[in-house]
């Protein structure tokens, strides 16, 4: 993995978890089909009735994305995530980090 990585966190109510998980997995699979080098993960922290979820996105440097997650991939992730609006509580918080090594 190289370059820029994205970390996206938000909250999901327990009663929406199954539906939200299916939507996130489908979204990440669709994105990976568009960008084969994309590595997408979903992490969940059970905080009781309102869990914290974290999506992470990284990509090996390729000719198409020499710096990891570029602006095009980030925009595609944001566009795909609009489908989650009714399943999450509040906003999606996006953080970008550069690999240190």
What is the number of helices (H) and of strands (E) in the chain?
2, 4
Give the residue numbers spanning the domain of 82.
4-98
Alpha helices in the chain (DSSP H): 17-34, 71-81
Q: What does the pLDDT read at residue 97?
A: 95
Q: What is the pLDDT of residue 1?
A: 43
Domain count, the chain: 1
DSSP secondary structure of 58-79: EE---SS-TTBS-HHHHHHHHH
Query: Distance between CA 79 and CA 59 in Å, rounded?
Result: 18
pLDDT of the chain along its 101 residues, tens only? 458 999 999 999 999 999 999 999 999 999 999 999 999 999 999 988 899 999 999 987 555 545 789 999 999 999 999 999 999 999 999 999 998 86
* CATH number, residue 9: 3.30.70.260
CA distance 81 to 101: 29
DSSP 84: G
The three-state secondary structure class of 36 is coil
Question: What pLDDT was estimated at residue 48?
Answer: 86
């Amino acid at each position: 993995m190289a370059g820029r990585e994205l970390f996206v966190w938000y909250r999901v109510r327990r009663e929406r978890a199954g539906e939200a998980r299916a939507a996130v997995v489908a979204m990440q699979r669709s994105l990976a089909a568009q960008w084969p080098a994309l590595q997408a993960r979903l992490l969940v922290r059970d905080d009781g009735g309102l869990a914290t979820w974290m999506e992470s996105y990284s990509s090996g440097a390729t000719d198409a994305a020499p710096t990891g997650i570029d602006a095009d991939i980030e925009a595609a992730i944001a566009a795909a995530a609009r489908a989650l609006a009714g399943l999450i509580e509040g906003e999606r918080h996006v953080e970008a980090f550069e690999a240190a090594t």
